[in-house]
A and B are shown apart, each in its own frame.
Chain A
Amino acid sequence: MTVVAEPALGDLHTVVEEVWSTFLADGNPILPADGPSEDVHWTAAITVTGAWEAQISVVLSEAAATGVGATMLAIDEATCSTADVRDALGELVNIVGGNVKSLMPGPSVLSLPLVGHGDIAPTSDLQPVRRLDLLWRGEPVVVVVHVPVQDSSTTATTT
C-alpha cells in the first residue's frame, strides 16, 4: 500500500542545511529567501517508489549550480565543466532524497538522479506539498517535494 504523506518542513530544512554545512561549507550559509525566485535554470530530481512515493527536486540558478559543482569538487569555478555541474547536482539531490526517504515510511526504493538544464516536471499525479525557497551566496536554491495528492485543494507549504 502506498502511504500518502509528506516530510515535515522543518525536517526537510534540517536535511538541506546538514548537506550544505557538510559538503558545501564555504563560509556562506544557506538561508531562507524572502520569496520564490524565477532565476532558476538547473533542476536535479530523484523519485521514491514503494511504500512512500515522491519526487524530490533541487532547483538552482546558473551561478548556484556552478558553485555547487566547484565546491564539491574543490576546484576553481572557471574549470568547473557542465559535466561536473551535472554530476554534483545529481549527487546533491541523491543525498537530499536519500535522507528524506529515510524519514518516511518504507520500504521504498530511490531512483537514480536526473539532472537537466531547465525544468523536470513530475508525473501528473504528483503535486508539490513542501517547498523551501533558500539563498546560498545570494543565489536561489529551491527544494520541492511532490507526492501523490487526492485533494486538489492541497498546496505547497513554503518558507
Chain B
Amino acid sequence: MKILVVDDSRVMRQIVIRTLRQSGHAGHDIVEAENGRMAFEMIAAEAPDLVLSDWNMPEMTGIDLLGALRRAGIGVPFGFVTSEGSPAMREQAEAAGASFLVAKPFTAETFDEVLTPVLGAAR
C-alpha cells in the first residue's frame, strides 16, 4: 500500500515514518508532503491508500485538506496525527470524515491500534 505523510516538519515526518516501522507496518510505499496544498496535488498524482496528516500547517491546514478532498469526491482514508487531541477537535475531525486522530506524542502501540483497521494487521 501507499501512505502519504503530510507535515510541515521534516522531523515529524521522519518520526511518523519511523513509528510506522516500529508499529509493524513497515514495507509500505511512503510519500511525503509539506502542507495541505502540496498533499492535495500529490493525492491526485499518487493515489495513496491512506493519508496521515498534521492539522496545523502553513498554506493549507489538515482539516482544510480533508474538506477539499471530500468536496472533490476523493474518499481516501484519512487520519490526523496532530499535537491537539481535545474532544472538540476529535469531533471536528470525525465530522469532516477522518478515520482517526492520533495525538502527539504517540507510541507505536497507538499507531498499530488505529492503522490495523485500515492497513490490515501488522506484519
Chain A residues proximal to chain B, CB less than 8 Å: 18-19, 22-23, 69, 72-74, 84, 87-88, 90-91, 94-95, 97-99, 101-102, 106-107, 110, 112
* Contact in complex: B56, A94 (CB < 8 Å): yes
B10 & A107 in contact (Cβ 8 Å cutoff) = no
Q: Which residue of chain B has its CB nearest to the CB of A91?
A: B9
Interface size class of chain B, counting residues whose CB lies under 8 Å from the partner chain: 20 to 34
19 contacts between A and B (CB under 8 A): A19-B105, A22-B106, A23-B105, A69-B11, A73-B11, A74-B14, A87-B9, A90-B9, A91-B11, A94-B56, A94-B83, A95-B104, A98-B84, A99-B83, A99-B85, A99-B103, A102-B84, A102-B86, A107-B88
Cβ contacts under 8 Å, A18 to chain B: 105
1/0 per residue B80-108: CB within 8 Å of A? 00111110110000000000000111110
Q: How far, in whole Å, are A73 and B15 apart by their CA atoms in the complex?
A: 7
Q: A74-B14, A90-B9 are in contact. List 5 more A-B contacts (CB 8 A).
A: A88-B9, A91-B11, A98-B104, A102-B85, A106-B86
Q: Identify the closest chain B residue to A93 (Cβ).
A: B83
The CA-CA distance from A42 to B23 in the complex, in Å, is 33
List A contacts of B105 (CB < 8 A): 18-19, 22-23, 95
For window 49-86 of B, CB contacts with A under 8 Å fall at 56-58, 82-86
Q: Chain B residues near A106: list those with CB within 8 A.
A: 86, 88
CB nearest to A97 among chain B residues: B83
A72 & B15 in contact (Cβ 8 Å cutoff): yes
> A74 — which chain B residues lie within 8 A by C-beta?
14, 18
B12 contacts chain A at the CB level, 8 A cutoff: yes
Contacts of B12 in A (CB 8 A): 91
Which residues of A have CB within 8 Å of B83? Answer: 94-95, 97-99, 110
Q: Are B18 and A98 in contact (CB under 8 A)?
A: no
Q: List the A residue with the shortest CB-CB distance to B18.
A: A74
Compute how far the CA of A88 lies from the CA of B7 in the bound complex, rounded to whole angstroms.
12
Cβ-closest chain A residue relative to B58: A112
* Chain A residues with CB under 8 A of B10: 84, 87
**B58 neighbours in A (Cβ, 8 Å):** 112
Query: A94–B14 Cα gap in the complex (Å)?
Result: 16
Min CB distance, B104 to chain A, in Å? 5
The residues of A that contact B14 with a CB separation of less than 8 Å are: 72-74
User: Nearest Cβ distance between residue A26 and chain B, in whole angstroms?
Assistant: 14
Q: How close is A88's CB to chain B, nearest CB, in angstroms?
A: 5
Complex: A22 Cα to B109 Cα, angstroms: 12
B22 to chain A, nearest CB (A): 11
A84: B residues at CB distance < 8 A: 10-11
